[in-house]
Structure formats: C-alpha cells, structure tokens
Amino acid sequence: MGKHTCLAGLLMPLLFILFATPEAAAQTVPRDTTYQKPSLPTGPPVPVSPAPQPTQPVKERPVIVSPPQVIIPDTVRKEDNREVKENATFVDKLYYGGSFGLQFGTYTNISLLPTVTYRLTDKLGIGVGGVYHFIREGDISLNNYGGRALLQAETFEIGDGAILLHAEVEMLSLEYLSAFNAGFYETSRKSIALPMLGIGYRQRIGEKASFDLLLLYNVNEDRLNPYSNPVFRASFNLPFKR
C-alpha cells in the first residue's frame, strides 16, 4: 500500500509536465485557418501631389521710372500768354501787305494798294495805306493817287481762318478828261472820298501771316467814281517781325 502510494506520487508530477509542453498546448488550443482577402479602398481617389520641380531663379526686369509729368494750370498758361502779349513791342504788332491789280491790252489798268496794319488785339486791326491807279486807253493816260484808312475785325472762326468785316475810306485825287476836241484833250483833277464797306474771309498762313478775300460796296455814287460795285479785292498780310 505504501509502495503504491509512492508510485502515484511520482507519476502525478510527470503527467503534469507532459501535458504542460507547447505541443500539448497546441493540441488543446484550436487554430483559425479561415483566409481573409485584403479589402480595397472604396472612397474617392486621394489626389496625389506632383513631385516638386526644381525652381529656376526669376530674372528681375529693370524698372523704368518715367519722369513725373508737370501739369501747368490753365490760369498759369493764360498769365504766361498775357505776359508775352504785354511784352510785345510796337513792331511785333505791325503787318505789311496790301493788294494789286494788273490789266493789259487796249485798256490798261495798274492798281497798287499797299497797307500797313497795326493789331490792336488778336481780332481787331487798324491800318493806313496808299492808292495808285494808272489808266491808259489809246492815247489817253490818267494817273490817280491818294491814301486810305481801314478797320478790320475778325468774327466767326471757320477752319483755319475767320470771317472778316472790313471798312475803309479812300481819299483819291482823280485825273479826268475835262475837254476833248479834234484829237486834243485836257485833264483836270478832283479830290473824292470813297467809303467802302464789306465782308471777306481771312485765311491764316502760318502763325501770323494771312491772305484776305474781300467783297466791298462803294457808297459814293459820283459819276467820276473809278470803282464799279461790287469791288473785289485780294490782299495779304505779313508780319514785320517774324
């Protein structure tokens, strides 16, 4: 009895060690042998940022700085123009010119009408001038001479010119036939005033020069009046000082 008891006491630890080994534990613990397929993403694709490219240095463009614009007020400009006009000398406002006419043939008529004009303003001028007429018909020759005073005013601007109002008084010493008999003739002289009024057009040529076309009416109705209405004249104006 005591012998069997000792044997039992030795076998019990051996059995415990045998069942406690890994192989035994593997037989007692069941393994999960089911294969699981890896799951794929089902959401929207994730944007992939491009790989950074090597940056090149940016060349700086030269900055061109324009000079500041100087704005001159109109008041200053007007004052400057006023100073220029005030500083203008007497000669700066003087103009010379006039008109002339030539007609040759059996009846010859040469007319010279020089003038000198002074500009009171940019639009208004006064002037004086001379008058000379040479008339020849056959064997008869006549000479008329005198002077004149005139007033001109520019009105409406048209293109590069302006409508011109013209008034003048011409004092003329007329030579006329007082007697004619058997091929002989005698001449006499008479002084006559010839007022003329009219309108015209002034075409500017350059900064100061101009060309005038005038249509005038002779008020005097004396029978010795050398002008027949209407009177056409073409004249020019040039500055003394350019």
Q: Residues 119-176: pLDDT tens digits?
A: 999 899 999 999 999 988 888 889 999 999 999 999 999 988 999 999 999 999 999 8
Residues 176 and 74: their CA atoms lie apart, in Å, by: 60
pLDDT value of position 195 = 95
| 118 or 13, greater pLDDT | 118
| 78-82, 179-183, 193-197, 203-207: segment of lowest average pLDDT | 78-82
pLDDT value of position 28 = 47
Report pTM.
0.61
Residue 59 scores a pLDDT above 80: no
pLDDT value of position 159 = 87
Highest mean pLDDT: which of 27-41, 42-56, 184-198? 184-198
Average pLDDT over the chain reads: 77
Please compute the mean of the pLDDT values over residues 63-87 and round it to a whole number: 57
Q: Could you report the per-residue pLDDT of 190-217, keeping only the tens digit for each?
A: 999 999 999 999 999 988 899 999 999 9
Residue 15 scores a pLDDT above 50: yes
Residue 233 scores a pLDDT above 80: yes
Banded model confidence at residue 25, pLDDT cuts 50, 70, 90 = very low
Residues 156 and 166: their CA atoms lie apart, in Å, by: 14
Residues 98 and 148: their CA atoms lie apart, in Å, by: 12
Ranges assigned E (strand) in the chain = 94-103, 107-119, 124-137, 140-158, 161-181, 184-205, 209-218, 231-239
Residue 30 scores a pLDDT above 80: no
Residue 118 scores a pLDDT above 50: yes
- Taking residue 163's Cβ as centre, other Cβ atoms within 10 Å add up to 14
Q: Which residue, among 156, 221, 152, 231, has the nearest Cα to 192 in the 3D structure?
A: 221
Residue 14 scores a pLDDT above 90: no
Residues 91 and 239: their CA atoms lie apart, in Å, by: 9
Percentage of the chain modeled with pLDDT above 90: 38
Is the torsion defined by CA of 216, 218, 224, 228 positive or negative?
positive
The Cβ-side half-sphere exposure at 92, using a 13 Å CA radius, reads 9
| 25-29, 48-52, 179-183, 235-239: segment of lowest average pLDDT | 25-29
pLDDT value of position 89 = 85
pLDDT value of position 58 = 57
